[in-house]
Amino acid sequence: MYQDCHTLGPLADSVDAAQQHILSRIYASSEGFCLLTPRHVFFAAQFQEFLHSEDRRIPFLRYIYYPNKHLLKFIPTRNPVHEAFYSTLAAVYVNFGVPESELLSDARQWLGGRYGANLVVIVDVKEDESALLDVRNSRESRDRLRELVGMITAFRNDEGARDSDELGDEIESKLNVDDWIGPLTVLLEKWELKDQVFQRRGPRFQILPRPHRRMNPTIPIIDMIPKDKRARFRKADKALEMELDLNEARQELRDGIRELALERALEHIQS
């Protein structure tokens, strides 16, 4: 999850400074970033136009502004955990490290705002950071970290004779995912506006840890059709459903978790 940086974000006291910082980080950061910027900068027409243009160009980019703290948080969708679901599920909003109240507020905006969605599928990913800290503080984990640092040091001392891809493959082969990613709880929910009431549709589905009973959620095809186009479809078509294969999603998620662990390891070692 992106770091809580209430005191670590750089200060951007002008529109140009804020835009330059965002553009320099937006494609380089997979887990989000923060900056401190005064209210008059955030609410300036030029900066709001910039944010909206970025939002149109990168539709799933999220940002949150806390006026009382002058804190602007960005959450890009390059996170491998996000991408794991985007490759297998349709009409999905993936949350990794955002408070539930903000998540549901976003879902409501998708349903009733400019996006006009008929149904929002939320995949809520929660990381057990306490368990991760326990692992990171263990002697075994510190030994593995020293081994990784030693590999990178050896590579730098012999940089001309080795390829960086070779180093990446070598580090990945030695990587212990549990050193970098805490245990994840992943739940899937469907939310809708029914008679103007924002509500969850049906039960929650557990993706991780893997449940004992196999259950896959379904999405009616009608939910993928804009309301003003539904009259063109036969009644039989409206009864069709798309099943979301959670086993496939779990496999994609495992790949995303390993990729994220590698990114965290490299960022930590090289910082």
Boundary residue ending a domain (140, 155, 181):
181
Kindly state whether residues 207 and 114 are assigned to the same domain: yes
Kindly state whether residues 36 and 105 are assigned to the same domain: no
Kindly state whether residues 38 and 167 are assigned to the same domain: no
Most confident of 15-19, 43-47, 117-121: 15-19
Q: How far apart are CA 265 and CA 9, in angstroms?
A: 21
Boundary residue ending a domain (76, 98, 113):
76
Kindly state whether residues 4 and 65 are assigned to the same domain: yes
Q: How far apart are CA 45 and CA 25, in angstroms?
A: 22
Residue 200 C-alpha from the chain's centroid: 21
Range(s) of the domain holding residue 39: 1-76
φ and ψ of 185, to 5 deg: -110, 120
Over the range 210-248, which residues count as b (16 or more CB within 10 Å of their CB) and which as e?
eeeeeeebebeebbebeeeeeeeeeeeeeeeeeebebee
| pLDDT grade for 104, boundaries at 50, 70 and 90 | confident
Note the pLDDT tens digit of each residue in 232-247: 666 656 677 888 889 9
Kindly state whether residues 196 and 207 are assigned to the same domain: yes
How many domains in the chain?
A: 3
With contact defined as beta carbons under 8 Å apart, do 116 and 78 qualify? no
The label of the residue with tokens 């306490």 reads 130
Q: How far apart are CA 171 and CA 151, in angstroms?
A: 8
Helix ranges (H only) for the chain are 15-25, 39-42, 45-57, 80-86, 100-112, 129-136, 139-157, 164-174, 235-238, 246-270
Q: How far apart are CA 58 and CA 108, in angstroms?
A: 20
Helix ranges (H only) for 137-201 are 139-157, 164-174
Note the pLDDT tens digit of each residue in 246-261: 998 898 888 889 888 9
Kindly state whether residues 145 and 95 are assigned to the same domain: no
Tokens standing for residue 103 = 């998540």
Length of the chain: 271
- pLDDT at 92 (0 to 100): 59
Kindly state whether residues 254 and 194 are assigned to the same domain: yes
- Residue 100: Cβ within 10 Å count: 11
With contact defined as beta carbons under 8 Å apart, do 208 and 257 qualify? no
Closest of 97, 62, 79 to residue 28, by C-alpha: 79
Most confident of 148-152, 163-167, 184-188: 184-188
Q: How far apart are CA 9 and CA 83, in angstroms?
A: 26
Note the pLDDT tens digit of each residue in 105-153: 878 877 876 667 888 888 888 899 999 999 999 999 999 999 999 888 8
